[in-house]
Amino acid sequence: MNTEALYRLKELFREWSGEEVLRAEPLPPSGSNREYIRLFGPKMTAIGVYNPDSRENEAFLSFSEHFRKHGLPVPEIYESAPSDFIYLEEDLGNTTLFSYLTEVREQEGLTAEIGDIYRKVIDHLVRFQVEAGKSADFSVCYPRQAFDQQSMLWDLHYFKYYFLKLAKVPFDEQLLEDDFHRFADYLLQTGTDYFLYRDFQSRNIMLVKGEPYFIDYQGGRKGALQYDLASLLFDAKADLPESLRNELLEYYLERIGGIVKTGSEEFRQYFYGYVLIRIMQALGAYGFRGFYEQKAHFLQSIPFALQNLEYLLNKVRLPLDLPALHVVWERIVMNRKFRSFPEAYPGLTVRINSFSFKRGMPMDETGHGGGFVFDCRALPNPGKLEEYRELTGMDTEVAQFLDDRKEVNTFKSHVRALVSQSVENYLERNFKNLMINFGCTGGRHRSVYMAEDTVRFLKDHYPVTVVLRHLEQELEKE
C-alpha cells in the first residue's frame, strides 16, 4: 500500500474512532488490485481498504449499505473517502468458511456442524438473491448490470485464452466460438432477474462466533439463481463430497421453492449448465494467475476443478449439442499433467529462530541466503525484573508485559510489514525458503516473544510452512 493511502486511512480511522492508530497489519493480497490493512487503536480495530478502481468501490459501498438495511450480515462501512479510493470497514477477523472447513476436516472429518453452517449460508443466499435483489440499485454494477451474454462470453474467452491457450490444449477456434454462443443462449433461457453475487465461495464467507458474514460482492449484478449456488457447492478447493452437495442442493430447492415459482427439474437442468460455466471461469482465473503470473498456489486448485468437471461429464447431459466444447472438456480431464500441480511447488517454508547475541547469529542451513535478523535489544527487557527473570517469552506474564508497551507494538508492526512484503513476493516467485531471526541479550524473553508472535501472524495470513526454533532454550535443555 502506498504511503499516502496508508496515511489517509490512519486519518480516517482517527476521524471515525477518535483514537490514534497504534499499529497496522497488512493483510494477504486478494485476486484484485484491492489492498487491505488491519488498523489497531487502543480499543478499536477496523479494516482499511485501498482500491484505485473507483467504480468497483462505488458498487461495494452501495451494496453494503443496501444489504445492511435488509439485515444481511455484511461488514459495516465506518467511513469512506471516494476521492482517495479508500474506506474503513468492520473487522470480521481471519476465519473464512474455507479455513474453518479445512481445519475441522483435518482434525475431525466432515462433521454435522459443517453442514449446519452451509445451510445457514444458503438461507442468507436466498435473501441476497430475492429479498435484497428486488430493490437493489443495479445502476452501480460494474462492469455490467447483468450476467448477460456479453458477460458469459467474457468468462468463456477468459477460459479459452488463459487456460486452454496457456496450457497448450488444442481446439478449433471457430467451432469453439460457435459453441460458446450456443451455450450462453441456452443459459439465458432461465430466469435472470435476481441478484447474482458473482463470487459466492468459501473464501468470501467469514465466520464470526460461528455465524456467516459475507464479503467481496462488488461484482454483483442481475442474473440467474443457479450461478451462486453453483459457485458455493462446486467451490474447487473446498472439495465438498457429492453426498453433501446433493443434500445442500435439495435444501436450497426447498428454501427457494417457498419464495420463487420454479420447478425443481427445470432448476436442476440449468443448474448444471451454470456449474460448467463457473468451472470454466475459475479455470481461466487459475490459468491467468498460475500460468501467466507464475503464482504457483493458484495452479493447486486446477486438479480440484477438473475433478468437478469430470464428475459432471459422467453424470450430467445438457439438452443441447456442444461438440467442440465437449472435446475440450474431455481433453483437459484426460490430461494427466493437470492432476499433478500440488506437487509442482512444495510451497514456502519460513524458518523462524530466537537466539542470544552472546552466542552469535544463526547460520542459514538451506543455502538460500535470504531473510532477516531483527535486533530486539531496543525493546523493554522483562529479564531485568525479578518476577520475569526465570520465565521466557512463551509465558503469558512476559507476553502481557510486552503487549502493553507502545514501542513493542510499533516494532511488531514494522516487522510484520517487512516480513509480509518478502513472503508475498517469495510466494509469487515460487521461492522455497525464508529465514527470520530474532535476537536479544539472553535469547529468553524479547526474541522468543517476537518469534512466537511472528509464527502466529504468518499462520493466520499466509499458506506457508513455519519451522520455529528457540535456540537458547534448546541449549539450556542439553
pLDDT at 388: 92
Q: How confident is the model over 357-364, as a mean pLDDT?
A: 84
Q: How confident is the model over 313-331, as a mean pLDDT?
A: 95
Question: What does residue 38 show for φ and ψ, rounded to 5 degrees?
Answer: -90, 125
Report whether pLDDT(379) > 80. Answer: yes
Longest dimension (CA), the chain: 80
Q: Which of 61, 46, 37 is nearest to 14 (CA)?
A: 46
> pLDDT confidence of 290, banded at 50, 70, 90?
confident
Q: How confident is the model over 133-157, as a mean pLDDT?
A: 96
pLDDT at 367: 62
CB pairs under 8 A, 24+ apart, for 407-412?
407/378, 407/379, 407/380, 408/379, 408/380, 409/22, 409/23, 409/40, 410/22, 410/23, 411/376, 411/378, 411/379, 411/450, 412/23, 412/450, 412/453
β-pairing verdict for 35-40 and 23-26: antiparallel
Please tell me the distance from the alpha carbon of residue 6 to that of residue 86, in angstroms, as a whole number: 9
Report whether pLDDT(343) > 60. Answer: no
pLDDT per position as a tens digit, 220-229: 999 999 999 9
Q: Indicate the CATH number for domain 3-89.
A: 3.30.200
CB atoms inside a 10 Å sphere around CB 30: 15
Q: How confident is the model over 402-425, as a mean pLDDT?
A: 93
Report whether pLDDT(477) > 70. Answer: no
Q: How confident is the model over 466-476, as a mean pLDDT?
A: 87
Q: How confident is the model over 457-464, as a mean pLDDT?
A: 89
pLDDT per position as a tens digit, 228-282: 999 999 998 898 999 999 999 999 999 999 899 878 888 998 999 999 999 999 9
> pLDDT confidence of 478, banded at 50, 70, 90?
low
pLDDT at 2: 81
Alpha-carbon distances, residue 436 vs 43, 112, 355, 433 (angstroms): 30, 40, 11, 10
Least confident among 30-39, 259-268, 432-441: 30-39
Partners of 37 in beta bridges = 26, 48
Please tell me the distance from the alpha carbon of residue 85 to that of residue 423, in angstroms, as a whole number: 26
Place of cell 457429492: 242
Grid cell, residue 261, equals 415459482
> pLDDT confidence of 345, banded at 50, 70, 90?
low
pLDDT at 29: 67
Q: How confident is the model over 312-341, as a mean pLDDT?
A: 91
Q: What percent of the chain has pLDDT over 70?
A: 96
> pLDDT confidence of 89, banded at 50, 70, 90?
very high
- DSSP annotation of 338 reads G
Q: What percent of the chain has pLDDT over 90?
A: 76
Q: How confident is the model over 320-341, as a mean pLDDT?
A: 91
Report whether pLDDT(407) > 70. Answer: yes
Least confident among 74-78, 136-140, 199-203, 470-474: 470-474
Q: Is the dihedral of CA 207, 208, 213, 216 positive or negative?
A: negative
pLDDT at 417: 93
Domain limits, the chain: 3-89, 97-344, 349-477
| Highest CATH level, class, for 97-344 | alpha beta
**Mean pLDDT of all residues in the chain?**
92
- DSSP annotation of 52 reads S
Q: How confident is the model over 319-328, as a mean pLDDT?
A: 96
pLDDT at 346: 65
pLDDT at 364: 76
pLDDT at 292: 83
Least confident among 72-76, 80-84, 428-432: 428-432
**Is residue 278 within 8 Å of residue 305, measured between CB atoms?**
no
pLDDT at 245: 95
pLDDT at 170: 95
> pLDDT confidence of 365, banded at 50, 70, 90?
low
Alpha-carbon distances, residue 189 vs 100, 183, 260, 319, 402 (angstroms): 37, 10, 16, 12, 63
Q: What is the DSSP string of 263-282?
A: -HHHHHHHHHHHHHHHHHHH
